[in-house]
Chains A and B, each alone.
Chain A
Amino acid sequence: MGGVGRYAIQRLLLTIPMVFILLTVVFLLLRVMPGDPVSAMLGGRNVSAEVLESYRERLGFNRPIHVQYVSYLSGVVRGQFGDSLRTGKPVLHELFIRFPATIELGVCGLVVSVLFGFLSGIFAAIYPDRPIDHTIRIFHIASFAMPLFWLGLMFQVFFAVRLGWLPVAGRLGGRLAFTFDSVTGFYLLDAIIRGDWRSLSDVAQHLVLPSITLGIALTGLQGRISRASMLEVLDADYITTARAKGLHERIVIFGHALRNALIPIVTVFGLQFAVLMGGAVLTETVFSWPGIASYLVRSIEARDYPAIQGSVVFIAVFISAINLIVDVFYSVIDPRVRY
């Protein structure tokens, strides 16, 4: 097996303890948490002690913590996250239904951040210390300091309520919300496959504001790394050589510099996904986006233990998988990296 393959397997094995640690931390903390999930599930009304006890018995909350822990772990290993206390349906099933919505939003957010962050960072580095560079840097710093939920609300006030150009919230508008039949869960993809242009435009319009909101979250980080990386590369000897032998500046920048500047940008891609997921919580809440992040928030409000644990494990596995792919991809694009 080649170096990359062995490295991938090593990284995969390292992912397991990471997920395990997070799972344990969340499990233990959830049991310390004040408030009783069973009475919360029954609506917090005056329920008789026997009814409470019977529910506790049925859901296994009356067993000692270590017994609950072992049974939960063995469930997770077998892919069973338990049933949601709120809806009674399997947590994993509910997460899978909502996952495409989060991915769709995340990918669109990523595209926006590449357009704003990456390009502006590269552009700033090409003109260092000119007014355009300073303007872009201020934009990057400001995007760092921007509370996402606030930005989303401002977009809603301006573009949806005032101007009425775009829908305020949700994934689909009007009648479509009831009639749209999704096969993949990715509405954009569904509409394109079916060639249903009316739905496509509706889906796209609903995506604009949330994607830009989420994209801005990453713009600062990506822009700064792009700028620093490009500056570093433009300083290198081979760039001087390329210029000295009379190559056109465009070829120097796009042919020689840009490719090498990409390497550090790809490295932080995994970290960016974590930021993206964090941003998704607020974006999905503000825009009533039916994804896994807003599912988690609602589960917390309802003290739905299996759903909270399930969502955290799900997100942890997802992030680890992304990190794994990024690391392996990194070793492929940068042949200097040896494992």
Chain B
Amino acid sequence: MADERHLAPPPIRRSMVVGVLDSIIRAISRGRRQLRGQTVLKVGAFIVFSFVAMTVIANLFPMLNGYHPTLYRDAPRLEGPTQDHWMGTDQLQRDVFSRILNGGKASLIVAFSAVALSMTVGSILGWISGFTGGWLDRVLSLTMDAIYSFPSMILAIVLVAMFGAGISPMIWAVGFVYIPTYFRVTRAEVLQVRESAYIEAIRAVGASNTRIVLRHVAPNTVNAIMAVSSFNLADAILTVAALSFLGFGLPPPAPDWGFDIQNGQKYLQSGAWWLITFPGLMIITLSLGFGLIGEGISDLVNPKRKRKRV
């Protein structure tokens, strides 16, 4: 182990986990330097940050715009946008705007948790599979490819139907569906890194497999994981919205964009466009925010791509 110190890039000894964290922090600080001119990334980050802030504040103070999203029932029934009710009212005489402000809770919680879940499981499986190779790699790859090739939306619906409706079933279902995405990305990166000379050198001085993976292989996959996860969040927002739309989300009185669209569908023939338009715009904007962050990060971590753009 003493000899290895000369080969490992930073000479200071740290624990393996700190090594991984350190590389993430370094990637972020490297990113901060390059942030100049990254309008796309900034716009995306601004959108996501304001949505998170809005949801947190609205859930702390439900009466934010003067109307409670579930308890207030004195508005005129099914009325379009007016001075008092900016986004109209629904069939239960509630204020649509107050429900919009509160309706992002499930989407955000499920999207972040599900992506964290699939990122953890998928990356770890990808590291192990790519690094060890052999029959384990074959079996895992085949399984992951099978899940990946299947339409993720259908799989998520089937899974959530099995687990039952609500926030945590949605987290498990959506998280499960995205595992192959991370598995494929990390495995591909590991396969590239595995054969490189420096890994061979570290192995030659007798570093353990666990140490090689955590300290030297995993940090090389962080960039790829970061870019993928932003796009993944954008997709997760849409999947969660679709699940809520199909009735697998929060139980009815709770405000939720996807479910409110399903509710608005019933009054579509009578021309109540405001019931579906506004929740939909919220979903698009949030998903777009994550998508823009993904675009920005891809430009940052993949300089070749950026050069091509210019």
Check if B168 is an interface residue, CB within 8 A of chain A: no
Partner of B151, one of A25, A235, A319: A319
Interface SS of chain B:
helix
Instruction: Evaluate contact between B151 and A18: CB separation under 8 angstroms.
Output: no
B124 interface residue (CB < 8 Å to A)? no
Complex formed: what's the CA distance from A178 to B277 in Å?
Answer: 34
* Contacts between chains A and B (CB distance < 8 A), count: 141
| Chain A 150-186 interface 0/1 with B at a Cβ cutoff of 8 Å (1 = within) | 1001101100011000001000000000000000000
Asked if B111 CB lies within 8 Å of chain A CBs, one says no
Tell yes or no: B83 within 8 A of A by CB. Answer: no
Docked Cα-Cα span, A150 to B238, in Å, equals 10
A45-53, A245-253, A308-316 - the one binding chain B = A308-316
Rounded to whole Å, the gap between the CB of A26 and the closest CB of chain B is: 7
Q: Smallest distance from the beta carbon of A147 to chain B beta carbons, Å?
A: 5
B50 at the interface (CB under 8 A from A): no
- Decide: A145 near B154, CB < 8 A? Known: A21-B142, A150-B283, A154-B277: no
Q: A149-B242, A278-B151, A320-B149 are in contact. Are A141 and B308 (CB under 8 A)?
A: no
Across-interface contacts of A192 in B (CB, < 8 A):
none
Set of chain B residues within 8 Å of A148, measured between Cβ atoms: 238, 242
Interface residues of B in 261-304 (CB under 8 A from A): 261, 264-265, 268-269, 271, 273, 276-277, 279-280, 283-285, 287-288, 291-292, 295
Q: Are A154 and B238 in contact (CB under 8 A)?
A: no
Verify if A200 is at the interface (C-beta below 8 Å from B): no
CA distance A88 to B159 in the complex (A): 24
Question: For chain A residues 284-303, which have a beta carbon within 8 Å of chain B?
Answer: 285-286, 293, 296-297, 300
* Contact residues in A for B143 (Cβ distance below 8 Å): 21
User: Are B309 and A319 within 8 A (Cβ)?
Assistant: no
In angstroms, Cα B97 to Cα A301, docked, is: 31
Judged by a CB distance under 8 angstroms, whether A132 is at the interface is no
A225 contacts the other chain (Cβ, under 8 Å)?
A: no
Q: Which residues of A contact B164 (CB under 8 A)?
A: 34
Does B280 lie within 8 Å of A154, measured CB to CB? yes
Given the complex, which residues of A lie within 8 Å of B145, measured CB to CB? Answer: 18
The answer to whether B152 and A278 touch across the interface, beta carbons within 8 angstroms, is yes
Say yes or no: A274 contacts B151, CB within 8 Å.
Answer: yes
Q: A296: which B residues are within 8 A, CB to CB?
A: 154, 157-158
Interface size range of chain B in the complex: 35 or more
A153 to B283, CA, bound (A): 14
Q: Which residues of B contact A271 (CB under 8 A)?
A: 149
**Given A34-B164, A153-B276, A281-B153, is A142 in contact with B284 using a C-beta cutoff of 8 Å?**
yes
1/0 contact string of B213-250 vs chain A (CB within 8 Å): 00000000000000000000010001001100110000
Contacts of B135 in A (CB 8 A): none
- Chain B positions within 8 Å of A337 at CB level: none
CB closest chain-B residue, reference A270: B149
The reply to whether A150 and B234 form a contact with Cβ atoms under 8 Å apart is no
Known: A296-B154, A320-B149. A282 touches B245 (CB 8 A): yes
Is the CB–CB distance between B277 and A282 below 8 Å?
A: no
Starting from the known contacts A145-B291, A282-B242, A300-B157, 20 additional A-B residue pairs (CB-CB under 8 Å) come to A14-B142, A22-B146, A29-B162, A32-B162, A33-B162, A145-B234, A146-B238, A146-B284, A147-B258, A148-B242, A154-B280, A156-B268, A161-B268, A275-B151, A278-B151, A279-B153, A281-B157, A296-B157, A300-B158, A312-B154
Please provide the 7 A-B residue pairs with the shortest distance between their CB atoms, ordered closest to farther: A278-B153, A278-B151, A150-B280, A145-B287, A33-B162, A18-B146, A145-B288
5 example contacts (A-B, Cβ-Cβ < 8 A) are as follows A147-B283, A148-B242, A275-B151, A285-B246, A312-B158
